[in-house]
Chain A
C-alpha cells in the first residue's frame, strides 16, 4: 500500500499599518484593517471558498477514502471571524465529514520556539484550545511555523503529548534516504515524523503554471502516473503545501481546480493507493529509522533554513527588540496587551525584511506589502517602540495601584512607600 498524505497550511498575516516616527506616543492602533479586510476577502473568493466547496464534493464522492489535513493559524481564524464568517463555516462543514484532520501549531504563526520555550508552549496551548473550540477536534499532530524543525523541537513536542510531527524532507538531512517513509525523531520514543516530498509538492505549488518547465502542462493523469511510479519505493507520499496554492498562487485560469478535482480519481485507479491523514499514517505505519536533525531546517526558499527570517541584521535586530519585551508583557496580566504583542511575533513581519534576492526573491516580493525590506524594518521598529512605551506606562500604573496595607506603618514601611511613589513619579 502507498498512502498519499495531503496537508494544507492556511495562514493570513495581519499586516501592520504605515506607522511613522510622528505616530509614536500618539497612536496605538497598529493593524492595517482596511488592507487586511481587502486581502482576506480577495483570497477568500479566489481560494478558500471555491477550494473548500471542491474538497467537500471530493470527500462526499470518495466516502471514507479521500482524506485531508489542515492547519489553520489562530491569526487566520481571528480574521475569518472578523471579515468572512462564511469561510469559517466552510471549514466547519469539512470538519463535520470526519475525513479531515486539524493540526496544531503556534497560534500566531510565530518563531517563538527559537526564542522562548515558555512563549512557544503558551501559543501552542492557545491554538489547541482554539481548534477544540471551533472544530471540536483534539489535535494529535503538530507542525511548527514554516516547518521549522530540529531534534530539540521534537522532544518538546513529544513532551506536550503529540503523536506526530511534520517537517521538510530536506536533502541535506536525508542524504541517500527517502522522505517517503515514517521516521522517528532522534531522542523520541513515541513521536513519529512525516517528511514533505518537496519534489512532488512543488510540481503543484510552484511549477504548476510555469510555462518554461519541461513538464508543462501537468494534468491529473500525468501527476497520478508520477505518484504511481513510486510504488514499491514508498510507504507514504507527503504533499504539504500552502492552501493558497489553489486559486491564489496558481490562478483559476491555470486549471488548478480541474487538476484538484480529478487528481483523486486518477490516483485511486491504482488499487494499492489510498489517502490518509497524518495521524492515521502514523497509527498504521511504524518508523523505518531514527532521523537526526541537529540544526534547524524549514520549508522556506531553496536554502531550507532560517535565513528567510533570520538572515540579516534588520531581522535580528527587530526580533531581539520584540522578544525582549516578553517578561514585561507577561507581568502586566493584560490580555489585550499580550495579544497585541503576540501579533508582532508573526513570522511574516520578519519575512518582509529579507534581503536575499536569489531564486526566491520573486516569492518574497509577491507576499510583501512594503516597497523594500528597509521600509518594513523602519515601520516595524516604530511600532515596537510605541508599544514598548505603552508597556512601560502600564507597568508604572500597575506599580502605583498596588494596595498599600492599612495597618500601622513602621518607619521602614513609610520609607518604602515614599520610595515607591518617588519611583512612580519619575517614570510617569
Chain B
C-alpha cells in the first residue's frame, strides 16, 4: 500500500535562503523516489523587493525544468491566499498590507478553528493591536502571527479535498495548518522540528511563538527532531514526552566535482563563515576567532557570507579591531555563489550558539573543506572526526583553525575519515527513517 502524505512545506529552489529550505526540498525529493504519494502544500510567496531580489518562478515549471526525478511524482498545491511568510522573517519587521480582509473577517475565521482558548485570545489581541496601530498610520498592516493563523486556516482546509493517511509539517509556521488539517481528516500528524524559538532567540524568546510551538508539539502525534540535541531541548524547554520524539538526522548530497584546494597555493588561506548574521549563528565569535588567528599569521582571509540583523555591528567590530582588510563580507549569496565560496575555502567554521542541526558543516565537508563545529550543534552527533569546540571558546577554535592550516596531515586525516562517514549520512537514509515512522503510525 502506498502511503499518502499531505506535507506542509517551505521554500523550494531557486528560492532557498537557508538550511530549512534545503532540508525540505531534499526530504520531498527522497520521499518521492521511495514511492510515497506526496501532496506538498507550499505558501504562495510573494517576493518582496525590499527583502530580496530573487524572482520566484512558478514552482511547477521549475521542477519540470530542473529536476526530472520529482516530475509527476509530487503533487504540489498552493492555498488560495498569498502570503509573505518565509522561515526567517521576524515578527517585528513583518508588515503586509491587506485590502479586503478586516478584523471581523479574521475573527470569524478564528472562531472556526479548533484552538485552545489561550491561543485564540492571543491571536485576537495581536490582531487588535495591529488594527489600532493601523488606525494611527491609516494602513491595514497584518502581523506575522495573524498571518500564521490565517495561513493555518486556509492551508489546513485543503485537507478536505486531498486523500491522505499522514500529515507532515515543518516548524512552527506550518504547525497550526497541520493541526487544522487533522480536524478534517483525523489522520495522525508528524511535526518535523528543524529549529526552535529557543535556538533562534536565545534568552530573548518571543513568548507567543514559544506558545504556538509548545501547543503544536503537545498536540502532534509524533515529533521528528533533527538531532538528539534538539530532542533534548524539546524535552527540557517544552516539557514534551521524550517517547513521542524520534531523532532523524539530516543528510547531504555528495559532490562529484570536488574542491582542489591544493591546486592554488598562491591564494591566501581562507576561513569561511556561512549563515545568517544573527545571534544564533555566532558571527561575533567568528570575528574574535579571526582576531586571534591574525595575531599569529597575517596571510589568512576571513569571509562572512550572509546577512542578518547583526551585519552592521559585525562590520563595525571588524573595523574596530583593525582587521578589516582580512575580513570580507559578501552579503547574501545565491546557490551558485555558495558553491563557489565553498570551493575557495580552506577551513569552515560554524560558531553557532545553538544549532539544531547545522547542514552547512556537512555541505562544507562534501566540498572537501574541513570544518570546526560547536558542541552546541546537532551535527556534532554525526561527525565523529571533526574538530569540536564550545562556541564561546574562541581561543580554542582559533588554535584549531591554525592547526588545520598548518598541518596538512591533520586536514587530510580528518577529511578522509569524515568522507567515509558522509557516505552513510545521506538524505536517502533520512527519508527511510521517516517512512519507517510513517508505517508505525498508520
Interface residues of A (CB under 8 A from B): 20-22, 24-25, 312-314, 316-318, 320-321, 374, 377-378, 381-382, 384-385, 388-389, 393, 428
On whether the beta carbons of B322 and A316 are closer than 8 Å, the reply is: yes
Given contacts A374-B311, A389-B268, contact A313 B319 (CB under 8 A): yes
Q: Would you call B329 and A317 a contact (CB within 8 A)?
A: no
For the residues of A in contact with B, the DSSP-based class is helix
Contact A314 B340 (CB under 8 A): no
Q: A21-B330, A321-B324, A384-B325 are in contact. Are A314 and B316 (CB under 8 A)?
A: yes
A303–B322 Cα gap in the complex (Å)? 25
In this complex, the member of B315, B324, B340 whose beta carbon has the largest number of chain A beta carbons within 10 angstroms is B324
User: A428 with B266: in contact, given A316-B322, A381-B324, A385-B301 (CB under 8 Å)?
Assistant: yes
Tell me how many residues of B have a C-beta within 8 Å of chain A. 24
Q: Using A22-B330, A316-B319, A374-B315 as known contacts, list a sample of 12 further A-B pairs with CB atoms less than 8 Å apart, ordered by residue number in A.
A: A24-B301, A314-B319, A316-B322, A318-B319, A374-B329, A377-B315, A378-B328, A378-B329, A381-B324, A385-B325, A385-B326, A389-B268
Decide: A377 near B324, CB < 8 A? Known: A21-B303, A313-B316: yes
A317 touches which one: B303, B322, B337 (CB < 8 A)?
B322
Smallest CB gap from B316: residue in A: A313
Q: Chain A nearest CB: distance from B302 CB in Å?
A: 10
Contact of B186 with A by CB under 8 A: no
Kindly state the separation between the CA atoms of A74 and B319 in the bound complex, as whole angstroms.
30
Q: Do the beta carbons of A25 and B326 come within 8 Å of each other?
A: no
Interface majority SS on B: helix, strand, loop or mixed? helix
Once the chains are docked, how many angstroms separate the CA of A321 from the CA of B319? 10
A-B contact pairs, 28 of them (CB 8 A): A21-B303, A21-B328, A21-B329, A21-B341, A22-B330, A22-B340, A22-B341, A24-B301, A24-B328, A25-B267, A314-B316, A314-B319, A317-B318, A317-B323, A317-B324, A320-B322, A321-B324, A374-B311, A374-B312, A374-B315, A381-B324, A381-B325, A381-B327, A382-B328, A385-B301, A385-B325, A389-B268, A428-B266
**Complex interface: chain A residues within 8 A of B329 (CB):** 21, 374, 378
Given the complex, which residues of A lie within 8 Å of B267, measured CB to CB? 25
Q: Is A377's CB under 8 angstroms from B328's CB?
A: no
Counting CB contacts under 8 A, is B256 at the interface? Answer: no
Q: Which residue of B lies closest to A384 (CB)?
A: B325
Shortest Cβ distance from residue A36 to the other chain B in the assembled complex, whole angstroms:
24
Bound-state CA distance A71–B178 (Å) is: 72
Residues in chain A near residue B341, CB distance under 8 A: 21-22
In angstroms, how far is the closest chain A Cβ from the Cβ of B51?
15
**B320 sits at the interface (CB 8 A):** yes
Bound complex: CA A377 to CA B315 (Å): 9
B311 / chain A contacts, CB cutoff of 8 Å:
374
Q: A318-B324, A388-B325 are in contact. Are A377 and B319 (CB under 8 A)?
A: yes
CA distance in complex: A377, B316 (Å): 10
Q: Which residues of B contact A314 (CB under 8 A)?
A: 315-316, 319, 324
Chain A hits for B330, CB < 8 A: 20-22
User: Roughly how many angstroms separate A384 CA and B337 CA in the complex, as a whole number?
Assistant: 22
Provide the bound-state CA to CA distance between A24 and B312, in Å: 22
Do A385 and B312 form a contact, CB below 8 Å, given A313-B320, A320-B322?
A: no
* Interface pair B340/A317, CB less than 8 Å apart: no
Q: Which residues of B contact A428 (CB under 8 A)?
A: 266
Give bound CA distance, A314 to B328, whole Å.
13
Please give the distance in Å from B283's CB to the nearest CB on chain A. Answer: 14
A-B pairs with lowest CB-CB distance, top 10: A313-B319, A317-B319, A321-B325, A313-B320, A317-B324, A21-B328, A314-B319, A381-B324, A378-B329, A21-B330
Closest residue on chain B to residue A385 by CB atoms: B325
* Bitwise interface map of B from 293 to 305 toward A, beta carbon under 8 Å scored 1, else 0: 0000000010100
Q: Which residues of A contact B325 (CB under 8 A)?
A: 317, 321, 381, 384-385, 388
Q: Which residues of B contact A21 (CB under 8 A)?
A: 303, 328-330, 341
A residues in contact with B320, CB < 8 Å: 313, 317
CB distance from B305 to the nearest CB of A (A): 8
The residue in chain A whose Cβ has the minimal distance to the Cβ of B317 is A313
Taking CB atoms, residues of chain A closer than 8 Å to B266 are 25, 393, 428
Return the chain B residue nearest A321 by Cβ.
B325
Name the CB-closest residue of A to B318: A317
Bound Cα distance from A308 to B30, whole angstroms? 57
Residues of A near B327 (CB, < 8 A) are 381
Closest to A315 in B: B319
The docked-state distance in angstroms from the alpha carbon of A3 to that of B217 is: 84
Return the CB mask of B179-205 against A: 1 if under 8 Å, else 0.
Answer: 000000000000000000000000000
A378: B residues at CB distance < 8 A? 315, 328-329
Q: Which residues of A contact B324 (CB under 8 A)?
A: 314, 317-318, 321, 377, 381
For A374, the chain B residues whose CB sits under 8 A away are: 311-312, 315, 329
Q: Once the chains are docked, how many angstroms separate the CA of A384 from the CA of B326?
A: 10
Task: Report B-chain residues with C-beta under 8 Å of the C-beta of A317.
Answer: 318-320, 322-325
8 A Cβ contacts from B320-364 to A: 320, 322-330, 337, 340-341
